Structure 1
């Protein structure tokens, strides 16, 4: 099955965030510094910023009720365990999902300080029952200029954008495509692979540290 979805970012769930970040850096990617989420969330991330999207490396710092779903997914193995879909209006996205008969949690609003100012965003988590093997969510960025920074988008290996995502399980994603109106990045059933655009073709096997393979194609 091949779908097109408005992907904001891909969540790469890993048991060792430092090791995963180092693997991406060794492959020539710029990886942002570790950022811890709220104590209630108990998670932390590092990001690989691309044109209009990004790869989020996520790890569990402290077990909390809020990250139970992530921990259960991690028990099944590291790799692509979440997809976040871009929202221009988080309340409207929540309504569209509800109208499509897809269960959601109430919208949550987050913020954190960065050297460039306060970063603010809102998310609506989708009931994992709707997408077995994945945690999906809608995400609205209120301060995108403080997240997509020119320096963080310069990668030594020439990577520029996300072209497609291959994941082992795509069950339920067709309903999300309908709810979000389609368009965006190709998502298909596969072995855990990201295809990126870049200045030159390349292949990176990060299965040991991150559970994925990355292929880069000339843009």
Structure 2
């Protein structure tokens, strides 16, 4: 298949990863171990590392700068804008075929970008990824990704969360030029757009998940109380729970009711609103 298939993951980014990981542990997530990233072929150590909240469908990456003396793979440039979500990754099945499609559409993509990280220990098995980032997207790191070792990433021991989150449902982008943002995402994914009921555009993935691209005026109705520090802004994302949000309520999390669920405000979720949908 030469289109995106799934909303694979979103990435919350920070210069203080320990604090971010502690925040998400307190929100009821079981996180994968700390993993330092390497990029390129042959792989070169980067100054970034992550922990992830793995779900039955998709996941949340919690990415930070661990060693500022090493290359940060562009993360510092994103964090100069704001702390919070800067990554939307879409699953693809065939990296070479999608690279050919994107080049035929006029995108100057030099080739497949390779990334890897250890799973449990620095000298243990390494998860490997093939990526096709949209070049210089103002919205953040928009990319297609193929997991070359999915069995190392989606392990049952990391998918049981106290908050009962099970699936990445959506992410919400606010843009003062939503048509341009929507066109970029449609071009990257090779998929058509549809109108969003709040105003703006939506991109639905065939195997699950969607991106909502809204105007600033539409944001208060979707994520009440969330303000954009700059535009474009990845304002929030939605996780489905399997118990109607019963666990989220019982855990005493700092949530407020919003259309479709319970929202953890950005100040309590690493800079991006987190909505639990029951």
- Which interval holds the TM-score relative to the shorter structure? 0.7 to 0.9
* Match among 119, 140, 164 for residue 170 of structure 2: 164
Match of 1:194 in 2: 237
**1:126 aligned to which of 119, 122, 134:** 134
Taking structure 1 as the reference length, the TM-score comes to 0.85
SS in 2 for 1:211: coil
Distance 1:132 1:99 in 2: 22
Question: How many residues are treated as equivalent by the alignment?
Answer: 213
Q: Aligned partners of 1:101, 1:65: CA distance in 2, in Å?
A: 32
2:144 maps to which of 123, 138, 143 = 138
| Structure 2 alignment gaps of length 5 or more | 39-43, 192-204, 220-225, 227-234, 246-261
Confirm or deny that 1:49 pairs with 2:54: yes
Alignment pair present for 1:106 and 2:150? no
Structure 1: 5+ residue runs without aligned partners?
Answer: none
Which residue is 2:272 aligned to?
Answer: 212
- 1:112/1:45 Cα in 2 relative to 1: closer, same or farther (>3 Å)? closer
The match for 1:9 is: 9
The structure with the greater share of residues assigned to strand is 1
Quickly say closer, same or farther: Cα 1:98–1:145, change in 2 above 3 A: same
Could you tell me which residue of structure 2 aligns to residue 181 of structure 1?
Answer: 190
Q: For 1:5 and 1:111, how far apart are their aligned partners in 2? A: 22
CA shift for structure 1 position 208: 4.8
Residue by residue over 1:157-179, the C-alpha shift from the partner in whole angstroms, topping out at 9 and shown as x without a partner, is: 11111111112335434333244
| CA RMSD, Structure 1 to Structure 2 (Å) | 2.4
* 1:30/1:154 contact within 8 Å kept: yes
Secondary structure of the corresponding residue to residue 74 of structure 2? helix
Decide whether the 8 Å contact of 1:5 with 1:187 is kept in 2. Answer: no
Contact 2:49 2:64 in 1 (8 A): yes
Shift of residue 120, structure 1, vs aligned partner: 2.0
- With the length of structure 2 as denominator, give the TM-score of the two structures: 0.69
